[in-house]
A and B are shown apart, each in its own frame.
Chain A
Amino acid sequence: MIAVPALPVDALSTVGAVLLEAIVLYVGYGLLVSTLESRVTAAITER
């Protein structure tokens, strides 16, 4: 088996960590996309 160490956290903290990561990623990628969207669209449509 491939060893990825499991962190010793309780159930609620585990699900809470996943929820927190999801929200942080949503906001983070949202900012990234809004910054880069026009450049990427321009690059695609110019090709």
Chain B
Amino acid sequence: MIGELLGSGMALPAMFVGFGLLIGILFGFFGMGGSFLVTPALLVMGYPSRVAVGSGLAFVFGTAVIATLKHRDLGQVDYKLGVSMIIGTTIGIEVGKEMVVYLEELGLAGSVISVIYVGLLGGIGLFVTREALKGGGGGGVDHDDADGEIDADDIPDIAKKIQSYRVPPMLTLRGGVQVSLWMILAVAFATGLLSGLLGVGGGFIRMPALFYLIGVPVPIAVGTDLFEIVFSGGIGSLLYAELGAVNLGIVVPLLAGSALGARLGSAATSLVDEDGIKVYFGLMLLGGAVAVAIQEGGKALDLPGAQVVSLLLIVASALLVAGAVVVSSVRALQRRESAASPAAD
């Protein structure tokens, strides 16, 4: 039905470019959101699951390359942390995959994964939103301070606890944060495990984990998460491309739109207040949790329209959040300009 509405010719690539722009803003801003939005959209459009997942992964890979280059320019990628996380995440993904195989043998995979997905998205969404609303506001994200010492008050309590376990070797991260390598590997393993279990890129788990569990400043958490997605997305898209499941007719226009969006999104991180970032992130996760719950409820009750409603909810929440990012950035730019040049009476 959606295909008939769009017809053929240039309408479809143009729609992919527009959708890519929206996703790019979110990806550049939050360091997540690619596969979470693209794959369900392609499934609803009628593409086979394998092509939807493979093309989604290839798109995530391309977007992550662009966004990582941009965050690198802004000094927001901690390579030492990124490489350490890749090791732990890879092992976690493997274990997660094995758990899925075991659950499939028991015939419980679908229901268990859906419940974990909704619980995790909803739980992280609520936690992030509550923490952001509790924060005092102010103190925007200053990229010039990426290497500066972090104020102890800015480090979440859980991260302080994790940083207090001083099991050698200790790693000194960007912002002067000192954490045991074993703690980083443990956090990376846990996020990789959930990523492998749920079949997602894992940015929505890793980005908050880097901030709340390791104590890395939000801009560096976003940049380092993207750096890691370059590797996980690259390997994943290569595996699917070997199955002939990566459609460049989808990926190329999506990427063209998202490249511009990612520039806007990552530039916005230097303009919008840090607590504002966390509120948007939390609200989008809550929207995603509700969307997945509707989709799964629809499957259980055999409601054919549930998948479309779920997709519309995901796209609408993404559109609202991307719009909020752009509007907040424009307002911040205007405030900055008026502060720099006070009007003469």
A10: B residues at CB distance < 8 A: 241
Please tell me if B333 contacts chain A, counting CB pairs below 8 Å. yes
Report Cα–Cα, A2/B242, bound state, in Å: 23
Contact A2 B70 (CB under 8 A): no
Contact between chains at B45 and A22 (CB < 8 Å): no
Who on chain A is nearest to B2 by CB?
A2
Partner of B334, one of A7, A14, A47: A47
Docked complex Cα distance between A41 and B333 (Å): 8
B108 proximal to A (CB < 8 A): no
Q: Mark B141-182, 1 if CB is under 8 A from A, else 0.
A: 000000000000000000000000000000000000000000
Q: Which of A1, A10, A25 has the most CB of B within 10 A?
A: A25
> Cβ of B222 < 8 Å from any Cβ of A?
no
Asked whether, in the complex, the Cβ of B247 is within 8 Å of the Cβ of A11, the reply is: no
Task: Enumerate chain B residues within 8 angstroms of A23, measured Cβ to Cβ.
Answer: 65, 69
Asked if A26 and B70 sit within 8 Å, CB to CB, the answer is yes
Residue from A4, A14, A41 within 8 A of B241 (CB atoms)? A14
Would you call B117 an interface residue if the criterion is a C-beta within 8 Å of the partner chain's C-beta atoms?
Answer: no
Known contacts A2-B46, A3-B8; is-contact A22 B263 (Cβ 8 Å): no
Cβ contact within 8 Å between A25 and B241: no
Q: Which residues of A sit under 8 angstroms from B338, Cβ to Cβ?
A: 45
For B69, give the chain A residue with the smallest CB separation: A26
With A6-B244, A6-B249 known as contacts, the answer to whether A15 contacts B61 (CB < 8 A) is yes
B317 at the interface (CB under 8 A from A): no
The residue in A3, A7, A17, A26 that gathers the most chain B C-beta atoms within 10 A of its C-beta is: A26
Count, chain A residues at interface, CB 8 A:
28
State whether A19 touches B62 (Cβ < 8 A): yes
Instruction: With A14-B58, A22-B255 as known contacts, state yes or no: A2 contacts B45, CB within 8 Å.
Output: yes
Q: Which residues of B contact A3 (CB under 8 A)?
A: 8
Set of chain A residues within 8 Å of B256, measured between Cβ atoms: 21, 25
Given contacts A29-B263, A45-B334, contact A9 B69 (CB under 8 A): no
CB-contact partner of B248 in A6, A22, A47, under 8 A: A6
Q: Which residues of B contact A1 (CB under 8 A)?
A: 3, 45-47
Chain B residues near A7 (CB-CB < 8 A)? 248-249
Query: How far does the alpha carbon of A3 sit from the alpha carbon of B121 in the complex, in Å?
Result: 33
B187 within 8 A of A: no
Say yes or no for B238: interface residue by CB 8 A criterion: yes
Known: A2-B6, A4-B249, A23-B65. A18 touches B58 (CB 8 A): yes
Q: In whole angstroms, how far apart are the Cα atoms of A17 and B12 in the complex?
A: 21
Q: Which 3 A-B pairs have the closest CB atoms?
A: A4-B249, A1-B46, A11-B241
Q: Which residues of A contact B (CB under 8 A)?
A: 1-7, 9-12, 14-15, 17-19, 21-23, 25-26, 29-30, 33, 41, 44-45, 47
Name 10 extra pairs, CB < 8 A, besides A6-B248, A22-B63, A41-B333: A2-B45, A6-B249, A10-B241, A15-B246, A18-B62, A18-B255, A26-B69, A26-B259, A41-B337, A47-B334
* Contact sample, A vs B, 25 pairs, CB 8 Å cutoff: A1-B45, A2-B6, A2-B8, A2-B46, A6-B244, A6-B247, A6-B248, A7-B249, A9-B248, A10-B241, A11-B238, A11-B246, A14-B246, A15-B246, A17-B248, A18-B59, A18-B251, A19-B234, A21-B62, A22-B255, A25-B259, A30-B263, A33-B263, A41-B337, A45-B334
